[in-house]
Amino acid sequence: MNIFWFRRDLRLDDNVGLFHALNADVEVLPIFIFDDSILSQLPKDDARVTFIHNQLEKIQSKFHEIGKSLAVFHGKPIAVFNQLISENNIKTVYTNSDYEPYARKRDLELFQLFKENEVEFKTSKDQVIFEKSEVVKDDGTPYVVYTPFSNKWKENFKKIQLINYNSEDYLEKISLHSYPFLSLKDIGFEASKIKIPTFDVSKNLIDNYEATRNFPSQDKTSYLGIYLRFGAVSIRKMILKALESKNETFLKELIWREFFMQILWHFPHTSKSSFRPKYDAIIWENNEDLFKKWCDGKTGYPFVDAGMRELNKTGHMHNRVRMITASFLCKHLLIDWRWGETYFAQKLLDYEQSSNVGNWQWAAGSGVDAAPYFRIFNPTEQVKKFDKELKYIKKWIPELETLNYPQPIVDHKEARERCLRVYKEAVG
Ligand code: FAD
């Protein structure tokens, strides 16, 4: 028997690894593992866990239609595989590649276990168009600036043919087995009250994306984030959608995603340290009271507060506002970008380590292709440009024009000058 291990590819259609597993002429046991090392760090009603479970239920109901079943486990992957190997005669484990530092370490350990047990481990590229070193400079080194990366990405894209892996057509190869399908309760979780937004990749949205994407009150972004994060949609299909439009701006965002993925792949240490080492010499204020006010949306800067309240309530924040809140934390409050990155990681439905770290380092000035540190967002000017009528802000701060709304916790001018001084001392 072979195994197909679902991870960040929670769908039956156009799933590369699943396609290969189902075409290997051996029965396939499909599994998912709720990894205890990850779950143990999350609140019991984490919305992403609910989302994952909902996706698994969708897969399960498709399997049930043909009298088959998905096996769902809870534990450490190494322990689960030890059990599966001891109970079955497993030839090959198929899965799709995962590029995050934790996943790479986990897979390396599993590879050892598989080797000792003469089990093959076959991974496929599924969650990106180009992985690892497939888009690099002519001298083989990675790009650290977006525009040339994106140009090379597009050049390489012209040379490939996107295949639709019709994995859903081979489900009869799924094996019969008696492993359980664990419920949320079985893994110690409960359903989240947060509603997951549906995504929109209509031609209309993509055609108008460039003009609308910067205005949070218009709410005209795709909400694809969580679907891409957990592979509930195929990136190849989304790229084809993007290409239906003459306007490239949406495609460029999907390329930003791959840009940051390859950065984390080549520079895994940037999940914890600055890409530009000098920036680790910044002496942060790290004031815990001010951090709490930022988290709670009580800084007295309406754009920042509206964004943080949107995040706390919905698990989503518009990109323009993510940039403003992140910049405010690092530059106005002089709080370490890692604190903000960790907070976003806890709250964002679409949390993706490579994008979160990449964008936070961009905001702090310490990352690849980051804006120079002396360019500091003015959170009040940003309102004039992007929420002139205060529609977005008032949605999240009903008490805006009352005495209940707090005074600014820092003075913009003083904070700006302090930031310039402290950054200059560290990076020269
Ligand atoms: P759309 O605007 O519709 O874009 C479509 C897709 O393109 C997104 O779903 C995403 O996959 C990709 N994309 C868009 N912008 C970016 C970007 N700047 N970097 C990388 N990919 C991008 N994005 C995440 O997916 N996960 C994160 O954890 C994350 N953290 C962020 C933290 C900060 C401080 C900032 C400034 C941005 C962050 N982003 C993150 C990028 C961006 O804000 C979100 O991808 C976007 O807001 C998600 O909403 P959407 O799906 O409607 O995006």
pLDDT tens digits, residue range 191-204?
999 999 999 999 99
Beta carbons of 331 and 415 less than 8 angstroms apart:
yes
How is residue 313 written in tokens? Answer: 């309530």
256 is catalytic: yes
pLDDT single digits (tens) 245-277: 999 999 999 999 999 999 999 999 999 999 999
Q: Are residues 278 and 423 in the same domain?
A: yes
Nearest atom (ligand 1) to Cα of 205: 3
Q: Write the CATH number for 258.
A: 1.25.40.80
Considering the candidates 27, 256, 287, 312, report the single residue annotated as catalytic.
256
Nearest atom (ligand 1) to Cα of 340: 34
Mean pLDDT of 145-172: 97
> What residue spans of 267-378 are helical by DSSP H?
288-296, 302-314, 319-327, 337-347, 353-364
Q: Are residues 260 and 345 in the same domain?
A: no
In testing the pocket of ligand 1, which one of 347, 359, 377, 382 has its CB within 8 Å of the most ligand atoms?
359
27 is catalytic: no
The dihedral built from the CA positions of residue 79, 80, 82 and 87, taken in this order, carries a sign that is: positive
Mean pLDDT of 19-48: 97
How is residue 382 written in tokens? Answer: 């940003």
Last residue of a domain, one of 266, 300, 322: 266
> Quick check: helix, strand or coil at residue 92?
strand
Ligand 1 pocket at CB < 6 A: 213, 221-225, 228, 253-254, 256-257, 260, 319, 322-323, 326, 344, 348, 350-352, 355-356, 359-360, 363
Q: Are residues 285 and 334 in the same domain?
A: yes
Q: Which domain holds residue 122?
A: 1-126
Whether residue 135 is contained in a domain is answered as yes
**Is this prediction's pTM over 0.75?**
yes
Beta carbons of 100 and 353 less than 8 angstroms apart:
yes
pLDDT single digits (tens) 164-187: 999 999 999 999 999 999 999 999
Gap from CA of 410 to ligand 1 centroid (Å): 28
Last residue of a domain, one of 246, 266, 286: 266
Whether residue 173 is contained in a domain is answered as no
Q: Are residues 299 and 417 in the same domain?
A: yes
Whether residue 69 is contained in a domain is answered as yes
pLDDT at 370 over 90: no
Per residue in 327-363, is it b (16+ CB within 10 Å) or e — as a string? bbbbbbbbbbbbbbbebbeebbbbbbbbbbbbbbbbb
In testing the pocket of ligand 1, which one of 253, 263, 328 has its CB within 8 Å of the most ligand atoms?
253
DSSP 181: B
Whether residue 120 is contained in a domain is answered as yes
Per-residue pLDDT band for 371 (boundaries 50, 70, 90) equals confident
Taking alpha carbons only, the member of 159, 156, 163, 161 closest to residue 16 is 163
